[in-house]
Amino acid sequence: MDYQTLKLDASGPHLLVVTLNRPKALNALNTQMGRELHELWTRLGAEPGETRCVVLTGSGERAFCAGADLKERDGMAQADWQVQHELFERGFMALMEFPLPVLAAVNGHAFGGGLEIALCCDFIYASSAARFALPEVRLGIMPGGGGTQNLARAAGERRAKELILSGRQFTAAEGVDWGIFNRACESVSVLNDALETARAIAENAPLSVRQAKKSIRYGLQTDLLTGYRFEIEAYNRLVDTDDRREGVRAFNEKRKPVFRGK
């Protein structure tokens, strides 16, 4: 599709780079971007084609995403605000339910909804030069893009309360120490570092990657034994696949496997 606020680039045969592309507005989330993100995750989740992994980043050097576009929201009627937020909600949920791995390459500052977008991804590489916060309580609202849930699951209840209730900023290094980010990278290399990991993921058996992601996500929402039962069900779906047979065959023939997602 021809997106107004997103840029899509293929990086190899199985890797897609999605760029939030409103650099003059620090890639702030407006209604159009919300609409396009929801459409992208919904469509690509249903019909991924050859795509096996996605890297999500921001345009420009300053920001990944500054959060919701407050200029657009200035003077917005309550009904319009709620309609817009419903659109944002659908986009956040579509990203969290997205079946393919999504790596956030947070190239610059990420505040409010921008940080929440990153937290919806499977994991995060963050620029060491950037700053991050969920400052919504300073604006008379609260996180509404999964922030209270995803941050608490990543960093723990007490750290999430500290950051959300104070609204204070933190660094990439702190985010790594607290389990929010996977890696703090130099600002010039954050996208390349994420792409390197994404390529390694995309080389693996795509059905296996998707089943493993699903097992981790849903298993963590239940008790250990039920989660293990879910894992076994996911595992058993892979036994009678061409990729499983190819993987074993390639191992014994001492060559690199050629996975086809079948």
- Integer-rounded Cα Rg, in Å, for the chain is 19
Confidence (pLDDT) at 76: 84
pLDDT in tens, the chain (262 residues): 789 999 999 988 899 999 999 999 999 999 999 999 999 999 999 999 999 999 999 999 899 999 999 898 888 899 998 999 999 999 999 999 999 999 999 999 999 999 999 999 999 999 999 999 999 999 999 999 999 999 999 999 999 999 999 999 999 999 999 999 999 999 999 999 999 999 999 999 999 999 999 999 999 999 999 999 999 999 999 999 999 998 989 899 999 998 998 9
CATH code reported for the domain at 206-252: 1.10.12
Strand order across the beta sheet in which 63-65 lies: 63-65, 109-111, 131-133, 170-171
Q: Domain map of the chain by residue range?
A: 6-202, 206-252
Structure tokens at 247: 């993987």
Confidence (pLDDT) at 1: 72
> What count of other Cβ atoms lies within 10 Å of the Cβ of residue 258?
10
Same fold for the pair 6-202 and 206-252: no
User: Which overall architecture, per CATH, does domain 6-202 show?
Assistant: Alpha-Beta Complex (3.90)
Confidence (pLDDT) at 67: 94
Task: Give kind and range of the element (H or E) at residue 94.
Answer: helix 78-96
Q: Could you tell me what percentage of the chain is helix, strand and coil, using 3-state DSSP and rounding each to the nearest 5?
A: 50, 15, 35
Confidence (pLDDT) at 86: 94
Task: Give kind and range of the element (H or E) at residue 44.
Answer: helix 31-46
Could you give the residue numbers annotated as active site?
Answer: 116, 136
What does each C-alpha distance from 93 to 34, 72, 166, 223, 255 come to in angstroms? 12, 23, 26, 23, 40
